[in-house]
Structure 1
């Protein structure tokens, strides 16, 4: 799993489109994530419409890069699931899988939080006409990276505590 040590947050993209088979591969990786009680509370919107990408870029102070991405995934949570308190954990695992798969496919992506900020969640709902049964969780812009940078070293042995 070299992508774990290679993946970075990518916010600048080439203009070329992401191939459908790569989009499906990323979605398959997302749906392969573990979930509490196997509840799989996720739903995904694949956004390629430039006007919608522009609107999504204004849904958060951190989402500006979305307007220049060739596409974005909007990850949503079903309100009705077996363990709603665990849904954000399940969705986090799904988004991490998406980021790793994108890197594996030589694409770049970034995780832009929407949940738990109600204003952002409502803006994304309005932009995409997301039904009330779903809640917006994250925006994941994706595309071919304009440049590749090395991953920052984050290992810190002082944060490891052995209990023997």
Structure 2
């Protein structure tokens, strides 16, 4: 439970590369996500290239943190699979949690269902036509610290007994 509450959206990063071993751990975590009928419709694009990270900031209106982040992972899904969005969202959450567990900061940048944003990101990253990018995860060593928050809201719960 501690890991769940410790994970926060981090938007400021140190000028420090993320080790390949940690990137592999993040990808393993993503692929460990539950998947409807075990279809695993995901594909991950690891973006370390500074020029590409900077270009994303020109496309995605909420991606300025990529000017500092040394890494992003695009989580993409095979659009023909009916539950690709749910499966890829679970994979993205696993990556975010694994980042926290590895001493990294991260934030989820939504791409899908914004068609224009998805199409532009897809072209920039050279993603195969059968896939759509669900989102991007900016990742790096955090340059900010956020405290855990209790955001439990009992008024958003209905109990049927």
Shared fold per TM-score greater than 0.5:
yes
Q: Please state how far the C-alpha of 1:86 moved relative to its aligned partner.
A: 1.2
Q: Please state how far the C-alpha of 1:56 moved relative to its aligned partner.
A: 1.2
State the partner residue of 1:56: 56
Q: Please state how far the C-alpha of 1:133 moved relative to its aligned partner.
A: 1.6
The runs of at least 4 consecutive aligned structure 1 residues that moved more than 3 Å come to: none
State the partner residue of 1:69: 69
Q: Please state how far the C-alpha of 1:138 moved relative to its aligned partner.
A: 0.5
> Number of paired residues?
161
Q: Structure 2, unaligned stretches of length 5 or more?
A: none
State the partner residue of 1:36: 36
What CA deviation, in whole Å up to 9, does each residue of 1:98-157 have, x standing for no partner? 101100111000000100111111111121111212111111110000011113221012
State the partner residue of 2:123: 126
Q: Please state how far the C-alpha of 1:89 moved relative to its aligned partner.
A: 0.6
Moved more, 38-47 or 150-159: 150-159
Q: Please state how far the C-alpha of 1:17 moved relative to its aligned partner.
A: 0.4
Q: Find the aligned partners of 1:74 and 1:50 in 2 and give their Cα distance.
A: 15
Partner-residue secondary structure (3-state), 1:119: helix
TM-score (structure 2 length as normaliser):
0.96
CA change 1:156–1:71 in 2 (3 A) is same
State the partner residue of 1:3: 3
RMSD value, Cα? 1.1
- Counterpart mapping for 1:145-160 below 5 A: 145-160=142-157
Moved more, 153-162 or 88-97: 153-162
What CA deviation, in whole Å up to 9, does each residue of 1:45-96 have, x standing for no partner? 110000000011222211111121001001111134xxx2311011110001
CA change 1:151–1:58 in 2 (3 A) is farther
The answer to whether the 8 A contact 1:72-1:141 is kept is yes
Moved more, 47-56 or 144-153: 144-153
The answer to whether the 8 A contact 1:41-1:78 is kept is yes
